[in-house]
Amino acid sequence: MSEETVRKIYESVKDRWGNLANYIVIKNVVKRFCELNPTADPFRIDWAEHYRPDFEYDEILRELKKAYPMYKWGVGEEFSEEQYFSELYSYLVSQARELPEELRLKLIRELQAEFGFEEPKELEEAEAEVQKVESIQEVEVVEEKPVISLRLIAKYPAILEESKKIASTFTIDKIPREAYQRALTSIIEAIRHGIISTKLDNPVVEILSKPLMYVITALMPSPWLKSRVALAEALRMEKELYVDSIQVFNLLVERINDHLGYRIEKTDEHGEYKMYFIDYLKAAKPLLSEPRWKMVNKTVHRGYVFLNRAEVIRLIRSIYQQIILNKIMNINPRDVPEDIRRYAENVKQRIYEEVMKVKGVSDSVQSIKDIPPCIKSIMEKLSIGDDVSHLENFTIASYMINIGKSVEEVLELFKNRADYDEKIARYQIEHIAGMRGSRIKYKPPSCEKLRTVGICRNSGECPKWIKNPLNYNPIRSDVDGKNR
């Protein structure tokens, strides 16, 4: 296993999870895979899809083992491919005897397609039986059209235009409070879990909560949060697409073709669906860094790329993640009704707290005791990617340098900024530390200056005699060992 291999895999995971991707954990997981599967290609694994930043090392291995049981992962009892499929098939049969035979066989066929196993004799017999049932029910199944119910619209409001018609019938003052609460809950789910749940007990509330969720997110200044919500909603849709019927899936594909102009067509040749190559390249653009999405690794015939259902679902997720993010980013706060702005302001602190819990702060920040309120406020804003003024940047950088933190530790604070540039940030911090320019080590602005420009956050915590944030703890030691 080369370091370049690990680096490429790490970059693919980082594209998905950002700074939450842990290089050491990823390196160890990839190393384990390569050691146990010396002839396997590590780039055939979708590492980003199954990595979870909140999982321990063994938990990530178990997730990968579930997704790729044909490989060895070194956790639990290891099986050969044949043993695995045999046990999986037996389990499926025992657990799904009450399911309609058509559905049971469909699940088995999907497993075969996923793992590439030869069809056992008992499956051939089962398929023959089901084909008899399918031939009897063929007219009913093929001609059956899914009903566009409120529940279906609530599942796919971004795809089904009917959601806009329903939302337009409610004036701002008539939107139920439950919709606001559901929007907030959805944002918190996105922050905590990276995916939003689907609640269908009250479909109208679910439908109304989506635009509210987008607007509230747009009013928060964190670019990270906007991306997180867009991804979480796209992941929710992806999950629903996997479990819904083929009739519903094909209806949604038709709608996508109609509204977005894509050409995704059902076919029996080479795969389940085909997509015009220009549309494919546009939809798959965020995924093309992964080998399996490159056109050289796809079946292409007469300008069409052939895809299975799972691949089409993954593309739909990618398409709508970007659509939702654009929708959030294009909301102008000045156009937001006063009622929604007021609600967003009321829940802003709660959302910030949730973001802080997930994103956390660097070890250099956690090790600081007795942080002055003004410095703590700037840290919180930096941690969630909020806008920070030049004076606030100078204040926190000079404070950290003067309490003995290194340039690297201070840099960690600024990495969540949307306009972060390491070269510029490093130069500025080194200048403040006296390593460049005039070679003067700068101190933070005085408390009087911070009060004048509105950075001071004194809520009664600071003693009246304090004249500089560095004096917040009167017995804090300087880097040279002298007490202040």
Please write the tens of the pLDDT for every residue from 374-394: 888 888 777 766 667 788 889
57 pLDDT higher than 60: yes
Q: Which of 343, 360, 377 is the last residue of a domain?
A: 360
- Average pLDDT of the chain is 79
Q: Regarding predicted confidence, which is higher, 229 or 33?
A: 229
User: What contacts 411, CB < 8 A, 6 or more positions away?
Assistant: 422, 425, 426, 429
Q: Comparing 95-109, 171-185, 307-321, which segment has the lowest mean pLDDT? A: 95-109
75 found inside a domain: no
Is the predicted pLDDT of residue 478 greater than 80, yes or no? no
Angle between the 390-402 and 422-432 helix axes, to the nearest 10 degrees? 60
Q: How many domains does the chain have?
A: 4
Domain boundary among 360, 387, 413: 360
Q: Note whether residue 203 is domain-resident.
A: yes
On whether the CB atoms of residues 472 and 372 are closer than 8 A, the answer is: yes
Q: Are 177 and 270 contained in the same domain? A: yes
* pLDDT score, position 473: 66
Least confident of 32-36, 201-205, 363-367: 363-367
CB within 8 A of 195, min separation 6: which ones? 189, 232, 235, 236, 239
Question: Is residue 319 a part of any domain in this protein?
Answer: yes
Please, which residues bridge with residue 300 across strands?
Answer: 305
pLDDT digits (tens, 9 = 90+) for 280-321: 998 888 888 777 888 888 888 888 999 988 889 999 999 999
Percent of the chain exceeding pLDDT 70 equals 77
pLDDT of 76 > 70? The answer is no
pLDDT recorded at residue 342 = 94
How far, in Å, are 60, 61, 64 from residue 28 at the CA level? 11, 10, 13
Whether residue 482 lies inside any domain: the answer is no
Rounded Cα–Cα distance for residues 369 and 375 (Å): 12
pLDDT of residue 267: 81
Residue 124, pLDDT above cutoff 80: no
Please give the Cα distance from 471 to 372 (Å, whole number): 9
Query: What confidence category does residue 209 fall into, taking pLDDT thresholds of 50, 70 and 90?
Result: very high
Q: Is residue 195 part of a domain?
A: yes
Residues 308 and 335 in one domain: yes
- Asked if the model's pLDDT at residue 112 lies above 90, the reply is no
- For residue 479, pLDDT over 70 is answered with no
Tell me the C-alpha distance between 280 and 271, whole Å. 15
Mean pLDDT of 404-417: 82
Residue 484 included in any domain: no
Lowest mean pLDDT among 110-119, 145-154, 249-258, 352-361: 110-119
Tell me, what's the pLDDT at 94? Answer: 53
- 374, two tokens: 């003004």
Answer yes or no: do 354 and 369 share one domain.
no
- Enter the tokens of residue 74: 């070194």
> What does the pLDDT look like over 419-468, one tens digit per residue?
677 888 888 899 899 888 778 889 999 998 888 878 887 656 687 788 88
| pLDDT band at residue 108 using 50, 70 and 90 as cut-offs | low
pLDDT at 292: 81
pLDDT digits (tens, 9 = 90+) for 155-174: 999 999 999 989 988 888 88
Residue 79 reports pLDDT greater than 60: no
Domain end (from 340, 360, 380): 360
The answer to whether residues 327 and 188 belong to one domain is yes
At residue 83, does pLDDT exceed 70? no
Q: Is the confidence at residue 268, as pLDDT, over 70?
A: no
pLDDT of residue 63: 82
pLDDT exceeds 80 at position 189: yes
Residue 347 pLDDT = 94
If pLDDT is split at 50, 70 and 90, which confidence band does 190 have? very high
3-state secondary structure of 304: strand
Residue 292 main-chain phi, psi, to 5 deg: -70, -15
**Do residue 386 and residue 456 come from a single domain?**
yes
Please indicate whether residue 354 or residue 88 has the higher confidence score (pLDDT): 354
State residue 34's pLDDT score.
Answer: 86
CATH number of the domain within which 247 lies = 1.20.930
CB 472 within 8 A of CB 395: no
The pLDDT of 258-273, averaged and rounded, is 77
How does residue 139 score in pLDDT terms, banded at 50, 70 and 90?
A: very low
Q: What pLDDT does residue 188 have?
A: 94
For the segment 351-371, the average pLDDT, to the nearest whole number, is 67
Give the pLDDT score at 103. 59
Rounded mean pLDDT of 215-239?
91
Question: Is 153 among the domain residues?
Answer: yes
Q: 415: exposed, middle or buried (C-beta count within 10 Å: 0-12, 13-18, 19+)?
A: middle
Q: Are residues 45 and 126 in the same domain?
A: no
Question: Which range of residues forms the domain containing residue 23?
Answer: 3-67
Burial class (CB in 10 A: 0-12, 13-18, 19+), 338: exposed
Q: Do residue 54 and residue 97 come from a single domain?
A: no
- What is the arithmetic mean of pLDDT over 456-481? 67
Q: Are residues 242 and 112 in the same domain?
A: no
Same domain, 394 and 423: yes
Please check whether residues 249 and 345 belong to one and the same domain.
Answer: yes
The answer to the question of residue 226 being in a domain is yes
Task: Please check whether residues 321 and 408 belong to one and the same domain.
Answer: no
Instruction: Confirm whether pTM is higher than 0.75.
Output: no
Residue 483 has a pLDDT of 39
Residue type at 139 in one-letter notation: V
Lowest mean pLDDT of 66-75, 202-211, 257-266, 395-404, name the range: 66-75
Please tell me whether residues 246 and 302 are part of one structural domain: yes
State the angle between helix axes of 23-36 and 3-17 in degrees (0 to 180), rounded to the nearest 10: 130
- At 130, which helix (H) or strand (E)? helix 121-143
Checking if the pLDDT of 187 tops 90, the result is yes
Give the separation between CA 5 and CA 483, rounded to whole angstroms: 50
Nearest to 233 by CA among 211, 255, 251, 252: 211
pLDDT score recorded for residue 230? 93
